Amino acid sequence: MPTEHDTDDVRDRIATAADTVGTNWPLHSFVTANPLAGYEDRPFHEAAERAERLRGGRTYPDAETFRDAWEHDRIDPEVLRAELAAHGYDTDPEASLGRLAERDDPAPERDDATERVDRALAKWLAAFCDEGEASWPMPNREAGFYDAVRATARHDSQIPNAASLADAPDDPAAAIAAVLADVPRERWTAVFEAHLNALPGWTGLVKYRVERGDEWQDAYPITLVGYLAARLLLAERFDAPLDPLAEREPDRTDDHDVPLAEAWLRAWEASYRDEVVDAVADASAARADADTEGDAERADAQLVFCIDTRSEVFRRHLQAAGDYETHGYAGFFGVPMRHEGYGAEASADACPPIVDAEHHVGERPDDARAHERAAHDRWTGRLHAGEKVLKAVKSNAATAFSFVESAGSAYGVALAARTLLPERVHDLRDALDARIPSAPDFCTPTVERDGTHERGLPVGMTHEERVEYAEAAFETMGWAEFSRLVVFTGHASETSNNPYEASLDCGACAGQPGGPNARVLAAICNDDAVRDALRERGHELPEDTVFLAAEHNTTTDEVTLYDRDVPESHAADVERLRADLDVARSGAAAERAEAMGVDPEDATRETERRAADWAETRPEWGLAGNASFVIGPRDLTADRDLDGRAFLHSYDWERDDGDALDAIFAGPVVVTQWINAQYYFSTVDNAAYGSGSKVTQNPVGNVGVYQGNGGDLMTGLPLQSLMAADDDPYHQPLRLSVVVHAPVERVRDVLADNEHVRTLCENGWLSLTVVDPTRGHDAYEYDAGFARAEETEATPEAERVEAEDGTPTDPLLAADD
């Protein structure tokens, strides 16, 4: 009988082993995240080797991908040869490509018994984790997964000796210890790692449920201990290996310090990064010269967009359309909240996963707009009632056939229209939306604290909190002057029949639209008491500055202005902005259409078709192509076409004492690295880290998708989000290059206080380059210290020194200190 020491040891080892599996968000709030986040404390190449052994699959681009980049001049020959030589490889590109091509794809060794365990376990996980899709829910779910499986799966005829599941210990940790009684204790962690990685999609979803503690977890709890207990009990009954990794220890004969693929990848990344760094450095020098020309005129409007790469395209076209100033800020606009829309049955977090929601914000109807509210309630009530009736008659065995008989022809016409004339369907939706008032037409977000709580969070915010959120936005972006109109612009996507639609919404809002956050910050900044407090703190807000919110539809590039409360004095400003937003839409849509192989002349109409077409597998490219993150003033990149590949965060080092940059490193840098890593791994091996083709996907339980009719949940992005064609990748799998415009000492100090980002840099999960405006606009690369970019390879490791605080630096900076 297992002792208390045994069960405690089981739990501790499972917690350690769980780091090898990334968190998997459910489809309705899909968040792109690094699938190997638990390995970030290791150098990238070591993490890659470990992941390949545990999960199989490729962790580096294959030889053909590198060859394509080489032949299209994306890799600088000199950079490549220097990188190959630095790690002891043959510097002839063709020879090294040939060696790469000889490398076999790593494949997990799985026996038939393990496959049967996977199928049985996945079936019961799907039944247990269902979030409202199943007509017949699994019995006993309220008791938790382990107890529910013991009570229900013992009736499963496909499980050998299933009835004996009821005899397993009540404590799942004790059940695990009993199953592993004959396995050496020092192997237990390896056993847990192997079994957690056998179905990483389901394991990742369990981690999500445990970490987030949402209403589904509260009602139907599942834990990693209970999950592993059920799996090991099934493995015992199917006579599957309990310690699958025992015979799969690594057999490395390569004596190079990094794999050959790592050398190629570094050269490709450096070639791309040099272009971005050179552009920022040149603009920095030009900016210094221009500063002597005097103060610039006040822009017609300032618009704050999410740092999302899609915003870069639209911002460029908007600034070409008129005298506008654009800024980049994390798309939740610094407000860590949970949002509940008007009439919604549930709330959803609208902030990054690394941030805890601190406020519950709902939509409060405005009594002065009761007419719009009544119209909204009337129309939506009819639509919802119709949907419920339709769902009931379709799923009821007694009415399904008669429904088809009576409504078949009408259904056929509707299906034909959605298939053959999707753009007309989009027009119909627009007409309906124009007729039905939306929540922003008659609601105001509850930003004032009312003393109540919803789902554990205080409703609204105190006055001091509102002032802090507004000031944080101004200071982080380095604002000193304000236009008559300031527009906070969130973003969302528009697609039909797309399980992964949340992946196209705002990642900074946990896969939700960013419009509600924009409305909250606009409401805060328009509050007279908040504005007075900001002026007392030194922020010179003009009396004629009006804040409003908007939402950018990234599929169609249409921007909706929430201008309900804009005073008449600013009506002409708003109309001019609205017209220029339409001009920018046409230009941005044409650029994106060309990237999708569509005639730019029909771009706007084509984007509407893609949004409404239920058969469209690629409504938009999303963040495909992302490769860099530029932190600095917009004018450093305003005249550069960054091809929708750069995250852009506004920052002015001259108006910061270090706190703003620290916040950017702690939040946006981490989140963008997650996004970049998800795109990287989904591209290099879509079967292992992506989700395959949308054509063969099947959604399950509103939590994920299968490929086919069962098995593991797919964890990453679909092929259509990454590939232009079967053999033509659109996304270039590069790790994130962060470029910061600031004194290098400032960045060094921030890194000293941010161990996580420093670890990401030193372990090769991202690169960091600083363009220093105080040192002749030179670029400095971080590699356990800073050195001028052109001297990085030549700087001997022995010459690097450390600052007094222990932070690695380089001799150049040490001398200046």
CB–CB of 359/525 below 8 Å?
Answer: no
Q: At what angle do helices 63-71 and 93-101 cross, to 10 degrees?
A: 150
Query: Which of 261-270, 423-432, 653-662 shows the lowest per-residue confidence on average (mean pLDDT)?
Result: 423-432
Q: How high is the mean pLDDT of the chain?
A: 90
> Confidence band (pLDDT; 50, 70, 90) for 114?
very high
Name the pairing type of β-strands 485-492 and 546-553.
parallel
Name the pairing type of β-strands 348-349 and 337-340.
antiparallel
Is residue 792 predicted with pLDDT exceeding 60?
A: no
> Confidence band (pLDDT; 50, 70, 90) for 135?
confident
Rank 416-420, 445-449, 723-727 by mean pLDDT and report only the highest.
Answer: 445-449
- Name 499's Cβ contacts closer than 8 Å, sequence gap at least 6: 27, 694, 697, 699, 705
Is residue 807 predicted with pLDDT exceeding 80?
A: no
Q: At what angle do helices 224-238 and 172-179 cross, to 10 degrees?
A: 40
Residue type at position 394 = K
Is residue 391 predicted with pLDDT exceeding 80?
A: no
Tokens 């992506």 sit at which residue?
Answer: 690
pLDDT at 366: 92
Name the pairing type of β-strands 443-445 and 453-454.
unpaired
> Confidence band (pLDDT; 50, 70, 90) for 812?
very low
Is residue 136 predicted with pLDDT exceeding 90?
A: no
What SS3 class is residue 629?
Answer: strand
Reading the block at residue 644, the tokens are 């929708």
Cα first-last separation, the chain: 64
Is residue 106 predicted with pLDDT exceeding 60?
A: no
Reading the block at residue 728, the tokens are 């033509």
User: Which residue did the predictor score with more confidence, 290 or 32?
Assistant: 32
CB–CB of 337/351 below 8 Å?
Answer: yes
Is residue 352 predicted with pLDDT exceeding 50?
A: yes
Measure the CA–CA gap between 222 and 206, rounded to whole angstroms. Answer: 7
Structure confidence by residue, pLDDT tens digits, 72-91? 999 999 999 999 999 999 99
Reading the block at residue 638, the tokens are 């305003």
Name the pairing type of β-strands 324-329 and 546-553.
unpaired
Is residue 233 predicted with pLDDT exceeding 80?
A: yes
Name the pairing type of β-strands 485-492 and 301-306.
parallel
pLDDT at 430: 81
582-608 average pLDDT score: 91
pLDDT at 799: 36
pLDDT at 474: 96
Structure confidence by residue, pLDDT tens digits, 240-260? 999 998 866 655 556 788 999
Structure confidence by residue, pLDDT tens digits, 496-552? 989 999 999 999 999 999 999 999 999 999 999 999 999 999 999 999 999 999 999
What SS3 class is residue 741?
Answer: strand
Is residue 677 predicted with pLDDT exceeding 80?
A: yes
pLDDT at 817: 38
The pairs formed by 178-183 with CB atoms below 8 angstroms and a separation of 24 or more are 178/1, 178/2, 179/232, 179/233, 179/235, 179/236, 179/242, 180/232, 180/242, 183/242, 183/243
pLDDT at 404: 61
pTM of the entire predicted model: 0.93
Structure confidence by residue, pLDDT tens digits, 684-723? 999 999 999 999 999 999 899 999 888 999 999 999 999 9
Cα distances (angstroms) measured from residue 783 to each of 38, 456, 777, 796: 22, 44, 19, 12
- Name 586's Cβ contacts closer than 8 Å, sequence gap at least 6: 603, 604
pLDDT at 400: 60
790-806 average pLDDT score: 43
Q: What element of type H or E holds 305?
A: strand 301-306
pLDDT at 13: 97
Query: Which of 5-9, 144-148, 429-433, 630-634 shows the lowest per-residue confidence on average (mean pLDDT)?
Result: 429-433
607-635 average pLDDT score: 95
CB–CB of 307/649 below 8 Å?
Answer: yes
- Name 613's Cβ contacts closer than 8 Å, sequence gap at least 6: 418, 419, 422, 496, 619
209-238 average pLDDT score: 95
pLDDT at 782: 95
CB–CB of 678/33 below 8 Å?
Answer: yes
Considering only the C-alpha atoms of the chain, give the largest distance between any 2 of them, rounded to a whole number of Å.
85
State the DSSP code for 41: T
Q: What element of type H or E holds 768?
A: strand 766-772
Query: Which of 134-148, 292-306, 471-485, 493-507 shows the lowest per-residue confidence on average (mean pLDDT)?
Result: 292-306
- Name 513's Cβ contacts closer than 8 Å, sequence gap at least 6: 490, 491, 492, 505, 506, 551
CB–CB of 446/459 below 8 Å?
Answer: yes
Query: Which of 304-318, 481-495, 595-609, 644-658 shows the lowest per-residue confidence on average (mean pLDDT)?
Result: 595-609
Q: Percent of the chain having pLDDT more than 90?
A: 75
Measure the CA–CA gap between 119 and 240, rounded to whole angstroms. Answer: 13
178-184 average pLDDT score: 96
What SS3 class is residue 398?
Answer: coil
pLDDT at 803: 44
Is residue 105 predicted with pLDDT exceeding 80?
A: no
Tokens 């493995």 sit at which residue?
Answer: 235
Is residue 801 predicted with pLDDT exceeding 50?
A: no
pLDDT at 804: 42
CB–CB of 183/191 below 8 Å?
Answer: yes
What SS3 class is residue 451?
Answer: coil
- Name 428's Cβ contacts closer than 8 Å, sequence gap at least 6: none
**Closest CA relative to residue 722, chosen from 753, 685, 774, 682:** 682
